[in-house]
Every structure is written in structure tokens, then in C-alpha cells.
């Protein structure tokens, strides 16, 4: 489940119309030739978040390859959070360091991983950040691996101050459009080590099996693997959007009944009204006839078409 939505000591812009919502912003990611190894890793990470959406009502939208590698939009009583995730799956066989985090391409200000991440803080929503890596990080970055608000993440703690000094040394006084600096980024960033792609695939498989068991569904492994394949469609789509929408707005158009009542559509079988948005408009059967026609809807994103490829 998502963390409580709190703005802490920073200005709350959730109701400030002088800042545009991330929903209205043009995509920041322009794509380009990136190693397919990195993208397939990123796709599996995105699938994991799609599974999270099935059981986390606070997670209302997931963008892939639009505003960042992955954007998670959460909603709660106190407002909305835009969590910008960068996924690094093709890195060298070494520990991540502060120098790696702050390395500027051709010495260009704003080009480092840290600066690109913090620069996403330009919308009405409260910003959070996530760095997903295959390899672990050095001790100096440990504070980012702790859960948000956990002991050890105190802004006056030695590890926090050491990391702030290190980042500020490489990228002095860098701020977002909203005036937030490295201190804000450290307080609101999670370093998420996911190991290799095969481990993520296994974790996603287990998560879906557990979810189906919780819903008292008798699914074989082959059915779960088929469902994972369907989840990879929006996860791998360029500039795709996956969102949670009210069931009553979706069921008549998107649910493939096959003789089932509306209350038995895939949306509430998995506990959540979910519309999967991908690269082309079509109804796609999630599971074959042995799954009795449970389906998900996949429609075109407004952000772009598949003519821009990532190969």
C-alpha cells in the first residue's frame, strides 16, 4: 500500500492552480535508441507496479515512458502524489555511488540522474522519486534504501547530511522549478534494488498467485503466466497510460462477459476496477476459455503512437 500523503515542511501546491497538474503536462520522455536489455528490465518493473495497482486503491494511474521511465500517480485524503521512477537495468557490474548519481553527461548542468529526477518536480502534485536498479548502492546511499519516514532518514541525521553534502558538492545548489533542492529529493526518494530481470519475473508471478489465492480463484501457473503476458502489453508500450476508473464507466464497454454477470468481470474479480491502456484499441482476452472469458481493456494513449520505437 502507498505511504500516507503528507507534504511535510514543504509548500503544499495540491490546490495551487498556478502549477499545472501532471495529468495536463506533455510527456517529458522523448525516447531514443536504448539497449533492449534495459527496456525489458524496465517492462518487468512496470508489470510489478501494475500488480500493485490491482490491490492498492491509492494507486490510480501508471504512465510508462512519458513523464519519466515510470510515473506512479497516487491519491488520498490529503491530496495527490506524483512518484517519478527512473529504472536502470543495464548498468555496469559495480555498486552505484554518489558520483554515478551525480555524473553530468558532457558536464551539462541538469543531465545527471539526480538532476533529471529532481527536475520532474514541476507540477501541482506533491513529488516523490524512485531509482530502481539492478545493482545495489554504496554505503553513502544507504539512507535512500530505507522506507520513507523510517528511522535513519531524519533530515538532521549523520547519513542524511553526509549524502546531502556529497550531492551538493557534485551539483551545487541545483533546484527544481518549485524551488526544492537536494534536501527535498533525499527526503522523498527511495532507492529500490530489484536484482536481475529473472528475479523480478519470479516475484511478479508469485505476487499474482498470492493475489488470486486471496480472491479465492483457482488459477493454474499457466493462467497466471498468461495474465502476466497481458500485463506486459501496457508495460512495454511507448508512452502508455494505465489507470483505475470507476467500474460503472468501464463494464459495459470494456468487460468481455462470456455469460458472466457484470459483478463477475475481471475488474472486480481482482478487487479493482482497472482499465489497461496500451498502444492500440482492442479487447484482449486475458485468459483463454478455461478462464471463462475474463478480459481486460486496452485502448490507445493520447500521448503518441507506436511509430516511435525503442529498438
The ranges assigned to domains in the chain are 23-193
Dump the DSSP string for 81-115. Answer: EEEEEEEE-S--SS-B-HHHHHPPGGG-TT-SHHH
Residue 50 makes CB contacts below 8 A (sequence gap 6+) with 62, 231, 234, 235, 242, 276
Tell me the HSE value of 203 on the side-chain side, using a 13 A CA sphere: 16
Can you give the length of the chain in residues? 311
DSSP code of 172?
Answer: T
The enclosing H or E element of 286 equals none
pTM of the model as a whole: 0.74
User: How does 141-154 read in b/e, with b if 16+ C-beta sit within 10 Å?
Assistant: bebbbeeeeeeebe
Rounded Cα–Cα distance for residues 272 and 56 (Å):
8
Cα Rg of the chain, angstroms: 20
Per-residue pLDDT of the chain (311 residues; tens, 9 = 90+): 444 444 445 666 666 677 777 766 665 654 443 444 556 899 999 999 988 887 788 888 888 887 889 999 998 777 899 999 999 987 778 899 999 999 999 999 999 999 999 999 999 999 999 999 999 999 999 999 999 999 999 999 999 999 999 999 999 999 999 999 999 999 999 999 998 899 999 999 999 888 877 777 677 788 788 888 878 877 776 555 665 553 223 333 333 333 333 333 232 223 333 333 332 222 233 333 223 333 333 333 333 443 333 43
Place of cell 489465492: 213
Say if CB 163 and CB 184 are below 8 A apart.
no
Amino acid at each position: 500500500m502507498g505511504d500516507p500523503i503528507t507534504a511535510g515542511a514543504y509548500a503544499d501546491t495540491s490546490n495551487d492552480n498556478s502549477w499545472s497538474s501532471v495529468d495536463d503536462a506533455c510527456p517529458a520522455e522523448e525516447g531514443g535508441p536504448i539497449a533492449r536489455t534495459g527496456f525489458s528490465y524496465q517492462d518487468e518493473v512496470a508489470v510489478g507496479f501494475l500488480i500493485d495497482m490491482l490491490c492498492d486503491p491509492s494507486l490510480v494511474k501508471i504512465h510508462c515512458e512519458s513523464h519519466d521511465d515510470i510515473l506512479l500517480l497516487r491519491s488520498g485524503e490529503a491530496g495527490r502524489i506524483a512518484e517519478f521512477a527512473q529504472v536502470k537495468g543495464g548498468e555496469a557490474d559495480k555498486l552505484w555511488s554518489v558520483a554515478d548519481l551525480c555524473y553530468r553527461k558532457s558536464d551539462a548542468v541538469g543531465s545527471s540522474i539526480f538532476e533529471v529526477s529532481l527536475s520532474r518536480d514541476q507540477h501541482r502534485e506533491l513529488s516523490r522519486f524512485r531509482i530502481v536498479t539492478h545493482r545495489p548502492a554504496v554505503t553513502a546511499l544507504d539512507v535512500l534504501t530505507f522506507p520513507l519516514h523510517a528511522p535513519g532518514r531524519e533530515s538532521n541525521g549523520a547519513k542524511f547530511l553526509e549524502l546531502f553534502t556529497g550531492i551538493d558538492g557534485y551539483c551545487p545548489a541545483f533546484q527544481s522549478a518549485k524551488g526544492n533542492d537536494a534536501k527535498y529529493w533525499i527526503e522523498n526518494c527511495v532507492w529500490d534494488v530489484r536484482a536481475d530481470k529473472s528475479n523480478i519475473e519470479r516475484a511478479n508471478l508469485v505476487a499474482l498467485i498470492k493475489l488470486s489465492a486471496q480472491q479465492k480463484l483457482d488459477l493454474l501457473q499457466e493462467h497466471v503466466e498468461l495474465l502476466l503476458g497481458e500485463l506486459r502489453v501496457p508495460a512495454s508500450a511507448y508512452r502508455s497510460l494505465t489507470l483505475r476508473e470507476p467500474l460503472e464507466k468501464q463494464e459495459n464497454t470494456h468487460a468481455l462477459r462470456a455469460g458472466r454477470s457484470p459483478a463477475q468481470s475481471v475488474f472486480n474479480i481482482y478487487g479493482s476496477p482497472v482499465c489497461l491502456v496500451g498502444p492500440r484499441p482492442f479487447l484482449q482476452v486475458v485468459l483463454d476459455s478455461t478462464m471463462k472469458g475474463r478480459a481486460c481493456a486496452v485502448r490507445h494513449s493520447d500521448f503518441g503512437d507506436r511509430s516511435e520505437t525503442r529498438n
